[in-house]
Amino acid sequence: MKKFLYFFGLSILVVLIFTGCDKDDDFDEALLPGKWQSGTLFERYFANGTGYRWNTADDVQEDEAQDYTWTLVKDELTQIHIMEIGGNVPRYYTVTELTSTRLRYEGHGRTFSFTRVNE
Amino acid sequence: MKRYLKPAIITVLSVLVVLFIIISVALWLVFTPERLTPIVRKQAEKHLPYHTEIGEVELTFFSTFPQFGLRINELTILSPFSGAKSDTLLHAGQFTGIIDFLAWWKNDQVIIEKVILKNGLVNLFTDSTGNSNFSLFLDETEKTEDESDEKVKTDSEFPFDLINLKRADLDNLNIYYTDLSANIVTEITQLTTSITGKMQGDNISGSINLKNANFIFLLNDMLTEVDNLKTSGNFDIEGDEITGNFDIKDGDVTYIYDTMEAFVKNISGSLAGTMLPDHIEGNINISQSQVTFGYDGETYLNNASVIINAPSTTFIPSRVWLNLDDATASVNQLAANLSGTLEVDTVGIIHTNMGYQLENWRIREIIAMVPPAFHEYLEGIEIDGIISSTGMITGIYSDSVMPLMDIKLQLTNGSFNYAEYPLPMRNMNGDVHIFTDLADDAKSFVRINRFNASTANSSFTTSGVINRLFSDIHTNLSTRANLWMEEFNHLIPEELNTSMKGRLNGRVRSNFSMSQMENMELEKMRFSGSATFTEFEMVYDTISLKTNGSKLDFTLPNPDKSDQNPGFAQFRFSVSELFASVNEDMHTTVKNGELFLETSDFRDSTRIPQVICTFNLEEVYAEMDTIRLTIRQPNGKFLLAPMAGNPEQPDIELYYKGDFLELFAGENNIEIGKVDLRTGMQHVAPAEEDFFMQWLINGFLDMSNANFALHALSYPVQIPVVKMDFDPENFNFKEGRMMIGNSDFHLSGEMRNILSWIRGDSILTGRFNFDSDITDVTQLMSLTSGLGIEESVESLNVETSADLAEDGEFTGPYMVPQGVDFILQSNIRKATFGVDTARNVLGEVIINDGILVLQDLTFSTSAAEMQMTSIYRTPRKNHLYLGLDFHMLDIQINELLNLIPDIDTIMPMLRSFKGTGEFHIAVETYMDSTYTLKMSTLRGASSIVGNDLVLMDGETFSKIARRLWFSRKAENKVDTLSAEFTIFEDQVDIYPFLIVMDRYGAVISGNHNLDMTFDYHISLVRSPLPFRLGLDVKGTPDRMRRRLAWPQYGRYYRPSSQRLVANKQLELRDIIRQSLLQNLRRREESQNQE
């Protein structure tokens, strides 16, 4: 029993230690709304948690963009892409930089870097 | 005897000598003028009321031998009278009278052997008050008559048994009579005549030989003058009956009244007859005369030869009644025969019952008698022929009433030529009956029994009746004509630019009045006839018409008029061969046809005419530019009528049948075997520009053996049979079999909202059963691509042309028709799509306003049974949306990769498996015009499930197997495979799935990029190994990096099904419905905005 309590307490300690060592990267989601560009790839975020994405390299214009909803919790950016035929394709990214002019996030083995497009 | 002869002669001669001596003594010694003259003067003064002057009176014997005569020279009776030409009442230069006194003395007979009057003058004058210069003679006569009357009362016997005037010679007697009270002037001058006469009892007979006389009779303004009259004749008076006959040897007559002048010269002839107190009967013969007649300054006859022969003429003066029996009168050899009566009653009304006959009057001679003033009307006209006529003139002639004329007129061998219309007519023959009183329509008519004429190459004949001559002339004629049309070209005004050739043979019956003609009241007129065209050609401007053996029958009004048939006219046109062309560019040929047409009055502009036209033709051929049309055996019925409630617009019905129709138009070719069309067309919206908006069309079409090879269609279309009802809103395909390109299908169902769709009020809907043995999907898509897309028609056309490869193959993209809502219940035994083939395709194909939906479509391929629901939308040509819900059961996975090569790209690991599995995928993406995926738009989810799959010799798994010490070598079976993955753009996320092989079980997850890079993690969750093991696999198939890693999934981890695809299927069904509703809402909003 002592042995069990020992390992249990050790575990909690380890958890607390690792929790305490977690990187505390909070990004201000208020900086996200707007139009962002990465080459021919564009994303637009609205403050209400919606947005859309398009790529002009595929001859897609902004009014033909595909919708998603987004959330930004600390550095976890979640995009739920909404298919026209219904259904969602979730995409989970980690934001590494978010300023008024730059947005960087990575996930699914890829890194995206955007700059804000002022209109 | 000789013994007594000599003494007798001597005795007689002696007596004669003694008598001669006695007479000589008496003449020269006893009855000398000196002795006789005073005696006569004294007796004259005693018995004559006027002063008488007698130059000399002598007794004659030798000059009047053998009678004694009394000669008075220079006898003058004077009667001075105011206003008279002279105071001489009577003058005789020499008057000799011989009377047989012995007969007077012995037998109470007055025998005037001879009376001679030379150089006589009688001058009678009556003034305006009625007093005359000879009134005293009248008084003496009256006194004598009174005495005679008294004597008659006492002794009614005439004192003489015989008065015999053996001869009276009047030489140069001049008689003047002027009566101012009656306004009469009469002059007889240079009268020289011999008269004999005898009166015995009541009988008087005598003779006159008028050697010369001049007569002038002037009454008011009427002058009658006879000059140089020479005549002789005999007369008998027996009681009241006077008979006589006179030969008129010569004479000139002048008659002038007002503006009328008549001169008769060289008149000769004879008069014979009997005259009773109120009855004159005789013969009148004028064998020669030259008549000149003028009126109102115009000369109507100029020295015309006039001959009259009235053999049995009766005249009753009291009734002014004249009877002519076979009288003949001729003017310039134009003879007329008269028989009948003429009477003038007491009020001046003429009663006639006169027959006449004209024989062989030469029209040229009649024309020659036309006065010069009327020559202008005949200018340029040459007319000839022979006219004969018989007739009766019966009835009353007065100022208000005309006699009834019954005239029969014949024209023989007539000719007519008018310079303005150089169409000389000849062989004119006619027989006309005119019956008229010149006043009463009821009695009057003109009957043309026959009239025929000919030109150089044409002829016509007419007959009939013309009546109502004095109100509204009405004709009822029948005419036959055989016309060589070339002759009539010069009658056509040049501005019409029309010419004709050939022959027209026909007849026309007409029945109409002049007012109807003037007012063009065709509905009241009657026409009928027929015309046959032989080698007929007509050219009007650029329009040419040729026909041979065609026949036109027409009747106005329609004899078959009924409640259903219009009554205005009926036409029947039979054509053997008809050729028409316009501008040499358009040709039409019709062979062996008949057209039967009935029509109402087409001139009524307030309503469309009612027309019924039945046609039956053997062949119609038309050619224009590159268009050629051939129709064989077209027949049917065309009905045109005013539309109910709007008679100005047409309501058309057409029943058409044809055995063959072929149309070449450029590169387009249409061939139709049989057509049975029954249609109705109503022109309900004439203000609309679009034809289909203007007309409401309904009917039934039965068409078979039709082939369409149209340039706009990439593939030929064959329609073995199609039967359909149609109306403005609906097409109802009862039966339809079509072969389009490689496709062969039956189509049945309904198409609705057609007119509303054209109006833009509604979407075009269709519900069809599509039953096909073989369908080439690619070809059908090429045919329907882009229909209804109006926004970019121009660009669409350009792009569409680019959609076809050089070999004509459709290369896409397929643009979903817009504005339509079609649902096809498909049953396709074999469908080909490019190189792919599907069999037993069942399900719904929905085309809805730019969206193509394949709903619950099941089919089988060589790989598997498949079920598919998909949405295909084409917002623009380079932006094509495809949503796909695809289920393949029992599919051979290797066949799946062959069927959909893109699967290999999405999930390359599948190439390592062989066997049967299930494949489900729900995916959406946009594509460009070449159907290349726009990877940035790719979203999807998929699953694949397989059992007992054989692991192929895939390199990756071989290496993995070696590294994991699999006991089995190649083709090891995979007990179960159940993988699910999502697709986002060019990246595939593999959800953890368990794969069990032999003693091993592994959970695999990761992602895979479409550039063939991947990043997988494999956790070994079941193995004979005493420890857990994981493996990360990254890189590309060519450069794969493997690294042992801590397993991400524990020994007891079992991935749960994400049911991504199942959910997606449900969502797809919903999204289809939502998409359709969304389209509907979009249209409604659009209409509301408009």
Phi, psi of B966, rounded to the nearest 5 degrees: -65, 140
Mean pLDDT, residues A72-84 = 88
Q: Collapsing DSSP states into helix, strand and coil, what is residue A73?
A: strand
Q: In terms of domains, do B940 and B1027 share one?
A: yes
Instruction: Measure the CA–CA gap between B674 and B669, rounded to whole angstroms.
Output: 16
Q: Which among B767, B762, B757 is positioned nearest to B823, based on CA atoms?
A: B767
Q: Output the pLDDT for position A19.
A: 44
Stated length of chain B:
1090
Question: If you ran DSSP here, which 8-state letter would residue B568 be given?
Answer: S
Q: Output the pLDDT for position B758.
A: 75
Q: Looking at B150-154, B455-459, B652-656, B950-954, which range is the least confident one?
A: B150-154
Is A60 within 8 Å of B934 when comparing Cβ atoms?
A: yes
Report strand pairing: B445-454 vs B421-436: antiparallel
Q: Is the pLDDT of residue B796 over 60?
A: no
pLDDT digits (tens, 9 = 90+) for B204-257: 888 888 889 899 998 888 899 989 888 888 888 887 788 888 888 888 989 898
H runs (alpha helix) in B292-348:
none
CA distance A24 to chain B (A): 25
Q: Output the pLDDT for position A41.
A: 94
Residue B1084 parent element (H or E): helix B1060-1089
Query: Where on the phi/psi map is residue B5: left (φ > 0), alpha (ψ -120 to 50), or beta?
Result: alpha
Phi, psi of B148, rounded to the nearest 5 degrees: -65, -40
Q: Collapsing DSSP states into helix, strand and coil, what is residue B774?
A: strand
Best A55, A63, A85 residue to mutate vs chain B (most B CBs within 10 Å): A85
Inter-residue contact B627 to B615 (CB < 8 Å): no
Q: How large a percentage of chain B has pLDDT more than 90?
A: 5
Report strand pairing: B764-776 vs B820-833: parallel
B571 compared with B22, residue with greater pLDDT: B571
B287 compared with A22, residue with greater pLDDT: B287
pLDDT band at B438 (very low <50, low <70, confident <90, very high): confident
Phi, psi of B387, rounded to the nearest 5 degrees: -110, 135
Q: Output the pLDDT for position A49.
A: 94
Q: In terms of domains, do B790 and B909 share one?
A: no
Q: Is the pLDDT of residue B808 over 70?
A: no
Q: Output the pLDDT for position A36.
A: 96
Question: If you ran DSSP here, which 8-state letter would residue A28 be given?
Answer: -
B128 compared with B2, residue with greater pLDDT: B128
CA distance A87 to chain B (A): 6
Inter-residue contact B322 to B314 (CB < 8 Å): yes
Mean pLDDT, residues B929-940 = 86
Q: Output the pLDDT for position B1053.
A: 64
Q: Is the pLDDT of residue B1072 over 50?
A: no
Q: Output the pLDDT for position A62.
A: 92
- The chain A residue lying nearest B872, using CA atoms, is A85
Q: Is the pLDDT of residue B1060 over 60?
A: no
* B879 interaction partners in chain A (CB closer than 8 Å): 59-60, 64
Q: In terms of domains, do B766 and B840 share one?
A: yes
Q: Is the pLDDT of residue B739 over 50?
A: yes
pLDDT band at B1064 (very low <50, low <70, confident <90, very high): very low
Mean pLDDT, residues B654-679 = 88
Instruction: Measure the CA–CA gap between B917 and B946, rounded to whole angstroms.
Output: 4
Q: Output the pLDDT for position B150.
A: 53
Mean pLDDT, residues B697-715 = 84
Burial of B712 (0-12, 13-18, 19+ CB in 10 A): exposed
The tally of CA atoms less than 13 A away on the side-chain side of residue B286 is 22
Between CA B35 and CA B43, with CA B37 as vertex, the angle to 5 degrees is: 110
- CB-based contacts of B18, cutoff 8 Å, min separation 6: none
Q: In terms of domains, do B969 and B1053 share one?
A: yes
Specify the pTM.
Answer: 0.64
Q: Output the pLDDT for position B864.
A: 72
Q: Is the pLDDT of residue A22 over 50?
A: no
Q: Looking at A8-12, A32-36, B468-472, B833-837, which range is the least confident one?
A: A8-12
Is B940 within 8 Å of A83 when comparing Cβ atoms?
A: yes
Q: Output the pLDDT for position B152.
A: 47
Q: Which among B847, B871, B869, B873 is positioned nearest to B858, based on CA atoms?
A: B869
Q: In terms of domains, do B846 and B913 share one?
A: no
Q: In terms of domains, do B801 and B929 share one?
A: no
Last residue of a domain, one of B834, B851, B868: B851
Q: Which residue has the tokens 């637009």?
A: A44
- CB-based contacts of B851, cutoff 8 Å, min separation 6: B816, B871, B872, B873, B1075, B1076, B1079
Is residue B524 assigned to a domain? no
- CB-based contacts of B202, cutoff 8 Å, min separation 6: B237, B238, B239
Q: How large a percentage of chain B has pLDDT more than 70?
A: 87
Is A66 within 8 Å of B989 when comparing Cβ atoms?
A: no
Q: Is the pLDDT of residue B735 over 50?
A: yes
B937-974 CB burial, b ≥16 within 10 A, e <16? bbbbbbbbbbeebbbbebebbbebbeebebeeeeebbb
Q: Output the pLDDT for position B1077.
A: 46
Q: In terms of domains, do B824 and B958 share one?
A: no
Is residue B706 assigned to a domain? no
Is residue B811 assigned to a domain? yes
B1028 compared with A99, residue with greater pLDDT: A99
Inter-residue contact B777 to B832 (CB < 8 Å): yes
Q: Output the pLDDT for position B952.
A: 55
Number of Cβ atoms within 10 Å of the Cβ of B1086? 10
Q: Which among B917, B1072, B906 is positioned nearest to B982, based on CA atoms?
A: B906
Q: Output the pLDDT for position A77.
A: 93
Report strand pairing: B586-599 vs B611-624: antiparallel
Q: Is the pLDDT of residue B791 over 60?
A: no
Q: Output the pLDDT for position A68.
A: 92
Q: Is the pLDDT of residue B128 over 80?
A: yes
Mean pLDDT, residues B546-574 = 86
Is residue B941 assigned to a domain? yes
Q: Is the pLDDT of residue A21 over 50?
A: no
Mean pLDDT, residues B294-308 = 85
Is residue B867 assigned to a domain? no
Q: Is the pLDDT of residue B151 over 60?
A: no
B785's tokens: 């691509």
Instruction: Measure the CA–CA gap between B1005 and B1015, rounded to whole angstroms.
Output: 9
Q: Most confidently modeled of B564-573, B954-963, B987-996, B1022-1031?
A: B564-573
Residue B890 parent element (H or E): strand B879-892
Q: Output the pLDDT for position B1051.
A: 67
Q: Is the pLDDT of residue B65 over 90?
A: no
Structural domain total, chain B: 2
B1017 compared with B21, residue with greater pLDDT: B1017
Count of pairs with CB atoms under 8 A, one residue in A, one in B: 75
pLDDT digits (tens, 9 = 90+) for B74-88: 888 888 888 888 888
- The chain B residue lying nearest A58, using CA atoms, is B934
Q: Collapsing DSSP states into helix, strand and coil, what is residue B952?
A: coil
Is B1071 within 8 Å of A57 when comparing Cβ atoms?
A: no
Nearest to A85 among B989, B1060, B1067 (CB): B1067
The structural domains of chain A, ordered by start, are 25-117 (2.40.128.280)
H runs (alpha helix) in B108-205:
135-154
Q: Looking at B428-442, B444-458, B716-730, B909-923, which range is the least confident one?
A: B909-923
Mean pLDDT, residues B515-536 = 86
pLDDT band at B371 (very low <50, low <70, confident <90, very high): confident
Residue B37 parent element (H or E): helix B33-47
Q: Which among B824, B888, B810 is positioned nearest to B852, based on CA atoms?
A: B824
Which stretches of B625-763 are assigned E, i.e. beta strand? 627-632, 635-643, 646-658, 660-665, 668-683, 695-709, 717-726, 731-740, 743-752
Q: Output the pLDDT for position B183.
A: 87
Instruction: Measure the CA–CA gap between B36 and B123, rounded to whole angstroms.
Output: 27
Is residue B654 assigned to a domain? no
Q: Which residue has the tokens 């990214």?
A: A93
C-alpha distances in angstroms, B189 versus B140, B497, B599, B984?
27, 74, 83, 151
Nearest to B1070 among A41, A59, A86 (CB): A86
* A110 interaction partners in chain B (CB closer than 8 Å): 987
Q: Output the pLDDT for position B694.
A: 82
Instruction: Measure the CA–CA gap between B336 and B306, rounded to whole angstroms.
Output: 11
Instruction: Measure the CA–CA gap between A111 and B945, rounded to whole angstroms.
Output: 32
Q: Which among B856, B129, B986 is positioned nearest to A89, based on CA atoms?
A: B986
Q: Which residue has the tokens 């013309």?
A: B466
Q: Output the pLDDT for position B143.
A: 61
Q: In terms of domains, do B952 and B1062 share one?
A: yes
Q: Output the pLDDT for position B1055.
A: 63
Nearest to B1068 among A57, A64, A85 (CB): A85
Q: Output the pLDDT for position B1065.
A: 45
Q: What is the mean pLDDT of chain B?
A: 81
Is B939 within 8 Å of A57 when comparing Cβ atoms?
A: no
Range(s) of the domain holding residue B982: 905-1075
* B988 interaction partners in chain A (CB closer than 8 Å): none
Is residue B1015 assigned to a domain? yes
Q: Output the pLDDT for position B690.
A: 75
Which stretches of B321-380 are assigned E, i.e. beta strand? 321-331, 334-344, 350-362
Report strand pairing: B646-658 vs B260-276: unpaired
pLDDT band at B973 (very low <50, low <70, confident <90, very high): low
Between CA B508 and CA B515, with CA B511 as vertex, the angle to 5 degrees is: 125
Q: In terms of domains, do B1048 and B960 share one?
A: yes
Estimate to the nearest angstrom the gap between the alpha carbon of B692 and the chain centroid: 34
Is B936 within 8 Å of A57 when comparing Cβ atoms?
A: yes
The complex's ipTM works out to 0.85
Q: In terms of domains, do B847 and B965 share one?
A: no
Number of Cβ atoms within 10 Å of the Cβ of B992? 19
Partners of A48 in the β-ladder? none
Nearest to A91 among B926, B984, B1068 (CB): B984
Inter-residue contact B991 to B944 (CB < 8 Å): no
Q: Collapsing DSSP states into helix, strand and coil, what is residue B1038?
A: coil
Longest dimension (CA), chain B: 231
Inter-residue contact B579 to B546 (CB < 8 Å): yes
Q: In terms of domains, do B917 and B1064 share one?
A: yes
- The chain A residue lying nearest B1014, using CA atoms, is A109
Q: Is the pLDDT of residue B377 over 50?
A: yes
B19's tokens: 């008598």
Best B876, B925, B926, B985 residue to mutate vs chain A (most A CBs within 10 Å): B985
Instruction: Measure the CA–CA gap between B260 and B684, rounded to whole angstroms.
Output: 75
Q: Is the pLDDT of residue B793 over 50?
A: no
Is residue B1034 assigned to a domain? yes
Q: Output the pLDDT for position B788.
A: 64
Partners of B796 in the β-ladder? none
Q: In terms of domains, do B837 and B913 share one?
A: no
Instruction: Measure the CA–CA gap between B132 and B128, rounded to whole angstroms.
Output: 9
* A91 interaction partners in chain B (CB closer than 8 Å): 984
Instruction: Measure the CA–CA gap between B597 and B613, rounded to whole angstroms.
Output: 4
C-alpha distances in angstroms, A44 versus A67, A72, B366?
9, 14, 115
CA distance B1056 to chain A (A): 17
Inter-residue contact B672 to B703 (CB < 8 Å): yes
Instruction: Measure the CA–CA gap between B751 and B758, rounded to whole angstroms.
Output: 13
